[in-house]
Structure 1
Amino acid sequence: MIIAIDGPAAAGKGTLALRLADHYRLNHLDTGLLYRAIGRIMADRGLDLDDPVAAGAVARTLDPADLGHADLRGREAGELASRVAVHPEVRSALVAFQRDFARRAPGAVLDGRDIGTAICPDAEVKIFVTASPEVRARRRTDELRAKGRNVDYERILAEIRERDARDSGRSSAPLKQAPDAAVLDTSALDIDSAFEAAIAIVEAKRA
Structure 2
Amino acid sequence: MNMKNYLKKSTFPLFESIGVIDGQVQHASWHEKRYVKSFITYFKRPPVKPLLEGIDIPNAYQKGKVKLRISYNENQREWRFSNYAFSPIAHLQLVEHNAINYELKWEDRVLLSELYQKRGDADDVLIVRNGLLTDTSYGNIAFRKNGGWFTPDKPLLEGTARARLLAQGKISSTPISLENYTKFEVFKMINALRDFETDSCYSVANIRPMS
Structure with the bigger percentage of helix: 1
Between 1 and 2, higher relative CO (CA 8 Å, sep ≥ 6) is seen in 1
| Structure with greater proportional strand content | 2
Q: Compare CA radii of gyration and give the structure with the larger one.
A: 2
TM-score, reference length from structure 1: 0.24
